[in-house]
A and B are shown apart, each in its own frame.
Chain A
Amino acid sequence: MKIDTAPTLNGTSSIPFDMPTTNRPMNLGQSMNDNASRLDGIAKVTGAAKYSSDMLLPGAVFIRFVRCPFGAANLESVDDSAARKVPGVLDIDIQMKECQYNGQPVGHVVGDSPAAAARALAALKLTWKRLPVKTLITDSITKAPEPTEETKKLMAGAALSHDAVYSTPVQTHSSLEPHGGVVDHKGDKATVYASTQGTFSVRDGMGDVLGLKASEFEVICEYVGGGFGSKLGGPGKELTLAAKISKKLNRPAYLVCNRAEEHLDTGNRPSSRTVIRLAFEKDGTITGGEIRTFGGVGVAGGGGGVAIPSGRYNLGNVDKKHEDVKFNAGGPRPFRAPGHPQATFAEELMLDEIAAKAGINPLELRRKLFKDDVYKEMLEVGSKLIGWKDRKANGSQTSVMRTGFGIGAGGWGSASPGGNAEVVIHQDGSVESRTGTQDIGTGQRTTMAICTADSIGIPLSLVTVQIGRSTLPPGPGSGGSVTSPTTAPTMMAAAADAKAKLFEVLAKEAGANAADFSVKDGAVLRGGKQFLTWKDACSKLTADGVKGSASTGDGGKGASQGVQFVRIDVDTETGVIYPRHVIAIQSCGRVICRKTAESQIIGGVIQGLSFGLFENRILDRNVGAMVNPNFEFYKILGPNDMPHIEPVLWWHGQTGVKALGEPPSVPTAAALGCALFNAIGRPVRHMPLTPDKVLMAWEGAVA
């Protein structure tokens, strides 16, 4: 096992650091690199890494949006006389309009300091006429739609049937780094410091706003403090406004949302309401029925728990319809596996309820219903690791604390080949990897270095990586879990190209054939025998070194699958759920870095548990304003809520790089819901699974 040492901190000390992986022996040796720590980890935790929101440029102006404080209101009058007198105020622009959600912008103020902008905002006198609001799917869809005649007939004729409604709340992305950035327009050129999942889509959307050609400005996004889908697409309203103001005032313009604005107006995972009516046989064979999904999309967009039926299970002939339901709230944006965690919660808990009605173990039912053998194999491995044999029958326990076991499954598609990369081998033996794609926190900088080092055959310490700039070779936006599946093979191809060019130089000088050369463990071999050290070989290069490039690699290798098992304890007197153990099996293809891959899976599980247990955008039902636009009452899983999470990398001889970003967050909340059902014997069909709902179910008032 390779144990890396952290880069030196201020050149003075070397801190060894390592994530304990001894509890995951199953993953050892299944990757190009087992234990490399993030190359930028120390920079991030010490603050040396400069995020876009850290770019406080000399002479900058600061922008704040003026936003609607209510769920629905008409802006009737604006008195900005006091605001304009605030020292340091540079610009105020407000449009009269009718607003449809809390946080909807109606204009902006600009100040020469954050305080000046904030004071101007506070000094504005806006007169709003409040309008009636809707805040939930159930404000419009007050009851489940009538089943079709066909469904009625099917259910009446079946041995058993299931008719239930499931729901999930709105989850906000809650990225640590808010949306926005800094635009520095200098007349004939500009620099855009963006917090984005798409460096190149920001570039493509910025030209017109800046009035510049792509060659005249640069988008820089070296670090991103999370995005989870909400930072996909073009510049967004934040950077667009910052660009306009910078151009107008000829000063750097800073616009970064605060936490409340993040919750209100930078997207979310839409809520879902799922009506399931299925007929099934006594042996658990599901013969079909209907599923109606409703997505709580706020003022715009589409989505919700759309991805049911998932296609993973044989559910017979299911008639499926989806409807987006609008109400007075900020609209959705893509959120880590859009439509899947909500749908999976309904699908898996529905399966457990059907298993209970048929008197079949939920594990057995899934063995029966899974279409793909990979899932069945994962079931066998996972059930052993979680200790499924210790599972008690639903509701059979008598103690105050009851244990529950649950299963969830998830799947994801593959990525198309693409992306561009360059690798430069320098005369001094150092190697530089370049690709413009940003690192949204998944370890792009680290994996690019590993791909380069592995492809050439040199130690990781020789490689530096440049990412997150629009002047580098273009790469994909980080959405749909495509970043690694596209950039990794491309970077490996670019590194192989650079190595081949080095061999040509060596061959020419030695009068040999380039094909005779190879690199192993940092030494250059000729005909399989030691020829030169890496450093000596590179010294044969000209000052330019050699540059390899690739415009596409092998691409992603097929769809990915995952099965998760969750074990919880439930306090039946308080309704509090204590997650204890999660087994997260995830197909991943060829693993670039074991530690990074495991972290990605663990992160998905944490986000899924947090979704299942706590997260909830709560809008005041009368005013339509969010009552918890903060991290105090928008609750997110904390350290004491963390179970023991064991990621299992399902490698199994696959050679390509598979999606690993989204899939691990799909099954967790569902498995949690199933575990709760197992523990207390009654289903809680409405997330988040908070103590009030657990107690209500416990007392028999099942919704």
Chain B
Amino acid sequence: MSHQPFEQWIFTVGELSSAEREKLNQHLEHCQHCRSLASAMADVENMFGDVAMIAPPAGFVERWTSRAKQANMLALEKRYQWQSLIMLVAVSNGIVFFLAGMFFILNRLFSSPADLLITILNRIFAYYASLQAVQLVTWTLLKVLFDMIPPIGWGVLLGSGMTGLIFWLILVRKLVYSPRRVRI
């Protein structure tokens, strides 16, 4: 005797149509196998319904709080350890590079001091020349700008700049001091 689809329907949760339920009930009347399965399922469901939710042993929240605080401390210690390690590596590298550089410079100075001095002087003059060029370009641009924009334009520009600055300051203040909102 075929028990399908009735066996399937017995274990389907709340999705049977009234016609299917009718057919299932008719089948259960004369099928011992399916009837025993349906009865077992009903027993299991009744038992699940009977057993209450279990509460944790007393002091659960206190135990969690101390565990969380301990975990926080451990995380903090770990972070400090990492920061110290990174600092140590950075400082060691700095010292190594500094010593290597000093050794290189001193070595060149002792082997050929004139060459080193000429190189240093050349660098200084080159930097000076670059700065002069930048200064010249800046002045020229400013002069052109001053000639191009009328005095009223300068007023508008300054006004909008100041307004932007005020808005920016307000925004920064709001973001820094207002708490982050979490909507639940």
Query: Are A and B part of the same complex?
Result: no
Name B residues whose Cβ lies closer than 8 Å to a Cβ of A.
Answer: none
